[in-house]
Structure 1
Amino acid sequence: MAVKRPETDLYLPVKHMLEQQGFTVKGEVKQCDIFALKEQGDQGDALSLVVELKTTVNLTLILQAVERMAVADNVYIAVPADCAPIKKQQKSIVKLVRRLGIGLIVVAFVGQQTFVETVASPGDYQPRKNLKKSRLILNEFHQRDGDPEVGGAASRGKKMTVYRQRCINVARYLAQAGATKASVVALEVDDPKARYLLSTNVYKWFERVSQGVYQLSAHGHEELQLWLS
């Protein structure tokens, strides 16, 4: 169970880490929880850095960090390692902050010791596209007949997918024609995958009468009526 800590418990561990990196660190500078400067080169240039401290990751923290990007070169958020969002969704949070150009620091409290880790650094980030997932979505979009699903509906339960639409087309034909060879079904419904749908029979809508011949099952009749109603 995570121990509830004030934001101030994060300050010294993060400050010490930044000081080890050569930063001069001060707390609560013009509404910034931490403001730090690091001299660079002989021109008097300095790298500025802001860290916003919070006991958890939430939208308020993200919005604060985005605001701070207008006043510092680099912006981080720092949270306890045992807060619920980090424990449950760290991978997604890292993707989010990297996309925004924000850094993420987590602080672990173990007994009397603290461990500070920079999980994500600020900077430009271009996520790699998942070509396989993208292709699956595009295929589903282009092959789906019409727009049978309402956006925002619960993800659980039966969905009208391209696969189900194909099965419905086959079921409608069998409901009218009765037992038919799979090759004939494929031609009549104009779907080269009809034979595959019949043989795999994922929804248990079809029955094999003889070699290569199928008919609609009792369950298939019931399901067909539900989907067509």
Structure 2
Amino acid sequence: MSATKPRETDLYLPVKTLLEGQGYEVKGEIGAADVVGVRGDEDAVVVELKTSFSLSLFHQAIERQAITDVVYIAVPRSSGRAGLKALTANKSLCRRLGLGLITVRLKDGLVEVHADPSPYKPRKSALKKTRLLREFAKRTGDPNSGGATRQGLMTAYRQDALRCARVLSQQGPTKASEVARLSGVEKARLMMANNHYGWFEKVATGIYGLCPKGAEALAQLGDPDQAP
């Protein structure tokens, strides 16, 4: 093993020993593959070796899936919080790509298999889907360009806040129930009380007015119910 920077060849013997222990005949550098293991009539095992996670490593492993479904990547095991974070993230990526993941602790040759190749079946989140579709349905028009920064996006919540601001701009300080009726925003009272954007002020019990910041936002962002 190299005393300084690890080499891909440092990974070969530990990986070969692991596969041989499982009954495979193993050979290195067969065609484009770093490691190939064959056991009877089973599908061949291919392992791609790299000294660290990289996009090229995943590209190579995906190309090997044209040869066999049993493809692993193998990298040196890193220590510390950063190493654990990288391992966790790349293990998740391997599972999505149907790849296996092996790490080798170079100081003693310890080999650990973190994931085996298998078809990826994503776990759907009904809650996330519901939130996505609810926001889509509630948002008026298409006020944002895809790929824009998250800060300052025109959400359905912001559009409702603008509707409340529009009523207060036209009517002056108004009872929350009346703001809800005129704006069509059912939760107008809660929205103005929470005052997420700093646009509203409570001037009396149940009565709200528009702050200068709210008037400025209304002038800048416009009426969400008017076509652009």
How many aligned positions are there?
219
Correspondence 1:118 to 2:113? yes
1:195 aligns with 2:196: no
Q: Is 2:45 aligned against 1:49? A: yes
Tell me, which stretches of 5 or more residues in structure 2 are unaligned? 224-228
Aligned amino acid, residue 165 of structure 1: Q
Structure 1 stretches lacking a partner, 5+ long: 40-44
Tell me, yes or no, if structure 1 residue 68 matches structure 2 residue 64. yes
Q: Which moved more, 1:76-85 or 1:208-217?
A: 76-85
**Separation in 2, partners of 1:186, 1:192:** 5
Match of 1:103 among 100, 111, 133: 100
The alpha-carbon distance between structure 1 residues 101 and 85, as it changes in their structure 2 partners (threshold 3 A), is farther
Is 1:158 paired with 2:152? yes
Shift of 1:86: 5.7
Structure 1 window deviating more from structure 2 (145-154 vs 169-178): it is 145-154
Equivalent of 1:135 in 130, 151, 157: 130
Q: What CA RMSD, in Å, does the superposition of the two structures yield over aligned residues?
A: 2.2
Displacement of 1:87 in angstroms is 4.3
8 A Cα contact 1:86 1:93, kept in partner: no
Deviation, structure 1 residue 93 = 2.5
State whether residues 24 and 38 of structure 1, in contact with CA within 8 Å, keep that contact through their aligned partners in structure 2.
yes
In the alignment, which residue of structure 1 is the partner of 2:140?
A: 145
Partner of 2:161: 167
Deviations 1:102-130 (A, max 9, x none): 11112233xx3132211111012211102
- Give the equivalent residue in structure 1 for 2:170: 176
After superposition, the Cα gap between the structure-2 partners of 1:169 and 1:160, relative to the gap in structure 1 and judged at 3 Å, is same
Deviation string for 1:151-174 (max 9, x for gaps)? Answer: 11233x222111111111111111
> Partners of 1:86 and 1:151 in 2: how far apart?
33
Measured in 2, the distance between the counterparts of 1:68 and 1:74 equals: 9
Percent identical among aligned pairs is: 46
TM-score, with length taken from structure 2? 0.87
Q: 1:159 to 1:90 in 2, by over 3 A?
A: farther
Higher normalized strand content (fraction of residues): 1
Which amino acid letter does the alignment assign opposite residue 194 of structure 1?
A: A
User: Equivalent residue for 1:42?
Assistant: none
Q: Which amino acid aligns with 1:197?
A: M
Which deviations, in whole Å up to 9, do the C-alpha atoms of 1:76-109 show, x marking residues without a partner?
A: 1112222999644433422332222111112233
- Please give the alpha-carbon distance, in whole angstroms, between the structure 1 residues aligned to 2:212 and 2:162: 14
CA change 1:4–1:186 in 2 (3 A) is farther
Q: Does the aligned pair in 2 maintain the 1:23–1:36 contact within 8 Å?
A: yes
1:194 to partner: Cα distance:
1.1
Deviation at residue 187 of structure 1 after TM alignment? 0.6
Alpha-carbon contact 1:56-1:85 (below 8 Å) kept: no
